[in-house]
Chain A
Amino acid sequence: DGGITQSPKYLFRKEGQNVTLSCEQNLNHDAMYWYRQDPGQGLRLIYYSQIVNDFQKGDIAEGYSVSREKKESFPLTVTSAQKNPTAFYLCASSMDYGYTFGSGTRLTVV
């Protein structure tokens, strides 16, 4: 079955560490997105990509980095520069007007 796989489901990070969240899709979608969600709030756009080797900053890109070396993969790195990284991270992909979301990664700083 086609879909988006995010891993891990839960991730714990020590302060000062970089961590990478995985997002893989087998839907052959061109566009991919990373969103952050804080408790009781909506989704805020971190980064997005339309094609391989191209990506754009969203509304809250500071402290994050991405790469798009393959169409299927769009990993998100949360760097030590992100001062408040504890949140729920969602990856999505789209083709035309349909969007598919992954099941999310919950990142906690310990």
Chain B
Amino acid sequence: GQNIDQPTEMTATEGAIVQINCTYQTSGFNGLFWYQQHAGEAPTFLSYNVLDGLEEKGRFSSFLSRSKGYSYLLLKELQMKDSASYLCAVRDSGGYNKLIFGAGTRLAVHP
């Protein structure tokens, strides 16, 4: 079966750091993606991990542990515009490269 779990909601303060966790159990694995989505809009790409370890890109970092089926997205120096949903997605290892999404985490950033 395919199961991707994320917290439903999180809140944080402007300027702070927040970590959004994602655990997955999938029949195949060929990489993990994080997307940001504002309400009513398409998801936008944030990060991609296929090997264990940390990937850093500006204020955003993402970590992957394949043995634990675990990833997190770290957002630093939070800004009000970071209020959005954050989607964890696993790419299937089959030939079609399907993306399997978690339900998303709604992050609210407060002043």
Q: Which residues of A contact B (CB under 8 A)?
A: 31, 33, 35, 40-45, 48, 50, 56, 58, 88, 90, 92, 94, 97-99, 101-104, 106
Contacts and interface: CB of A to CB of B under 8 A. Distances in A.
B72 interface: no
Contacts, number: 55
A48 B31 CA distance: 18
A48 B42 contact: no
Interface string B53-93: 00000000000000000000000000000000001010100
Given A97-B31, A97-B48, A90 B42 contact: yes
B104 A48 contact: no
A43 B101 contact: yes
Interface in B33-53: 33, 40-45, 48, 50
Interface of B: 4, 31, 33, 40-45, 48, 50, 87, 89, 91, 95-104, 106
Contact of B104 (A41, A56, A99, A106): A41
5 contacts: A40-B106, A41-B104, A42-B104, A45-B98, A101-B43
Contacts of B87: 42-43
B103 A48 contact: no
A48 B41 contact: no
